[in-house]
């Protein structure tokens, strides 16, 4: 994996282009608006194809087959075809839509909890980028997690990683144990341990790679095959990687899960989650069950959140590649710094999962966990000593953030007390490193090599 740096140029709007000062946001010349074209605040007319216009490798019209994902991120959800159509998709906030004369059908817009033009555009784009048959957008990542667990029946057994996002651990422990699910946490980097922990009621294999927060790497292809051979459903939480870095469906997984709040949204301003499902008639009943749950339970992404998310996806590939390039540089510098005890990053040659990572990841990612020389107090002081990196939870935004992970997790977590989790943003790597290094120097005691490694101040 050799991340490539990406950069872009922007330009300021020149008011001379619009001398009368007329706002043109979302405006469309009415005389050239084709019948049935989507307009802001308007319901698609009868006979308008559901989901508006789009271009992707699998479009019904067959136009531009084999588009690269960078192009599909821009055009799969919405692409203006006719004169007068807006370049950017419109936001459709309406909760209800007028019925067609012949009454409602499965292809009719009806009620926003059931479906909405903005959600349809977002779901189509996510499915295209991940290579899935369908995507389902939810109001949060945890709502998507809940939907995945609801595939199962009370009494079913789930295998999860022993190192995973604490929110998933809390949900299955606090809520689904009462509901009747049974579960075990195992080391997913050892497929033999997974097999040993299974029982006749095992129905789902939950994979998170790289894991949160220790960045352990699990073999998606091997684990997905193990699940398929035994009739289990394999779910891969790909929040940290996105389809830019890793595409689990190509490796045999059944479902991919995202907290779209993170890298897919990328700007720390929209909450959401998603599931993307593989194709195949054998999986259609599960997909139907998920779609039914999404619409009946109602934990759906709002039209505006979908609109924001679709906007963010347009820059996904540029953002994530640049973040990965910066993270690779920062990880190398951290690994060589005397104030750092250990760095967890799959792009480093000494990472125990680096070989598998190179086979299933296009880039090493933009998340780094590292342990400072010291204790919890030392790590907390380092996190507070930066001026550019922001102490905050969550991840994947354009601004770099970090946190003392142990105090952000559940009581009894096994996360090391001196571990800091860093989400590398789009700042220049030199500026980031200068800020991180001054924090390490200011807080972590220097080591006196002449005194056999004893700390000296």
Catalytic residues: 113, 165, 237, 262
Separation CA 361–CA 265 (nearest Å): 20
- Helix (H), strand (E) at residue 342: strand 340-344
Assign 3-class secondary structure to 19-86: CCCCCCCCCCCHHHCCCCCCCCCCCCCCCCCCCCCCCCCCCCCCCCCCCCHHHHHHHCCCCCCCCCCC
User: 296: Cβ–Cβ under 8 A, 6 or more apart, which residues?
Assistant: none
What are the phi and psi torsion angles at 421 (to 5°)?
A: -105, 125
What is the sign of the dihedral through the CA atoms of 90, 94, 95 and 98?
Answer: negative
Query: Do residues 122 and 139 touch, judged by C-beta distance below 8 A?
Result: no
Separation CA 294–CA 58 (nearest Å): 24
Query: Do residues 254 and 233 touch, judged by C-beta distance below 8 A?
Result: yes
Q: What does the DSSP 8-state code read for residue 175?
A: I
Query: Which residue, among 253, 192, 251, has the nearest Cα to 227 in the 3D structure?
Result: 253
∠ CA 225-230-231, nearest 5°, is 95
């Amino acid at each position: 994996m050799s991340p490539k740096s990406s950069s872009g140029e922007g330009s300021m709007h020149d008011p001379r282009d619009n001398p009368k000062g007329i706002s043109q946001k979302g405006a469309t010349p009415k005389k050239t608006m084709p019948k049935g074209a989507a307009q802001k605040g308007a319901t698609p007319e009868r006979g308008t194809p559901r989901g508006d216009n789009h271009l992707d490798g699998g479009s019904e019209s067959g136009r531009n087959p084999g588009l690269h994902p960078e192009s599909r991120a821009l055009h799969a959800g919405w692409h203006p075809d006719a004169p007068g159509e807006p370049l950017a998709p419109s936001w459709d906030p309406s909760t209800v839509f007028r019925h067609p004369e012949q009454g409602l059908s499965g292809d009719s817009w009806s009620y926003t909890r059931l479906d909405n033009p903005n959600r349809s555009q977002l779901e189509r784009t996510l499915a295209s980028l991940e290579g899935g048959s369908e995507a389902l957008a939810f109001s949060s990542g945890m709502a998507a997690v809940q939907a995945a667990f609801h595939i199962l029946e009370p009494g079913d057994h789930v295998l999860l990683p022993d190192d995973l996002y604490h929110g998933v651990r809390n949900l299955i422990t606090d809520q689904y144990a009462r509901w009747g699910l049974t579960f075990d946490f195992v080391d997913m980097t050892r497929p033999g341990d997974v097999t040993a922990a299974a029982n006749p009621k095992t129905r789902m294999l939950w994979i998170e790679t790289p894991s949160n927060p220790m960045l352990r790497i699990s073999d998606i292809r091997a684990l997905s095959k193990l699940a398929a051979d035994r009739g289990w459903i394999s779910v891969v939480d790909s929040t940290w990687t996105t389809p830019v870095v890793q595409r689990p469906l190509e490796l045999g997984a059944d479902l991919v899960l995202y907290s779209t709040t993170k890298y897919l949204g990328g700007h720390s301003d929209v909450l959401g989650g998603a599931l993307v499902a593989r194709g195949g008639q054998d999986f259609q009943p599960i997909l139907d069950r998920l779609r039914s749950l999404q619409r009946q339970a109602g934990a759906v992404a709002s039209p505006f959140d979908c609109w924001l998310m679709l906007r963010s996806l347009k820059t996904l590939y540029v953002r994530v590649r640049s973040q990965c390039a910066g993270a690779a540089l920062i990880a190398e510098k951290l690994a060589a710094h005397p104030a750092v005890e250990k760095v967890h990053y799959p792009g480093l040659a000494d990472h125990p999962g680096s070989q598998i990572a190179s086979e299933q990841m296009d880039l090493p990612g933009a998340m780094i966990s590292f342990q400072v020389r010291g204790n919890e107090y030392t790590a907390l002081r380092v996190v507070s000593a930066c001026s550019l990196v922001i102490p905050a939870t969550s991840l994947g935004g354009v601004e770099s953030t970090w946190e003392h992970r142990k105090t952000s997790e559940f009581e009894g977590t096994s996360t090391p007390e001196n571990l800091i989790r860093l989400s590398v943003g789009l700042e220049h790597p030199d500026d980031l490193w200068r800020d991180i290094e001054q924090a390490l120097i200011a807080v972590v005691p220097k080591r006196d090599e002449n005194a056999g490694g004893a700390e000296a101040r």
